[in-house]
Amino acid sequence: MDEIEKHVLEVLHNLNWLLEPHDSFVELIMIRGNKAVIRSVGSCDKCDTDCIGTAFKERMPDVTLVRQ
């Protein structure tokens, strides 16, 4: 596991702890270069607040988030 993947998984772990009360979760599909492909499920998937995107922008600004 490389450093980018390790950091992405750490961010997802922290996000899932926050998303769980909303019956939602997010998972890593794959990492290709500086792109992290994720899948989010539940009510948080379509939320206008975009906590998932915000968390990645704050913690990993060099990683492009791609949602499936």
Parts of the chain with a pLDDT under 50: none
pLDDT at 15: 94
Structurally, the chain folds into a number of domains equal to 1
What is the CATH classification number for the domain harbouring 47? 3.30.300.130
Domain hosting 19: range is 3-67
pLDDT at 13: 96
pLDDT at 44: 83
- pTM higher than the cut 0.75: yes
Give residues with Cβ within 8 angstroms of 65, minimum separation 6.
Answer: 35, 36, 38, 52, 53, 56
Tokens of 58: 């704050």
DSSP letter at 46 equals G
Whether 29 contacts 68, CB under 8 Å: yes
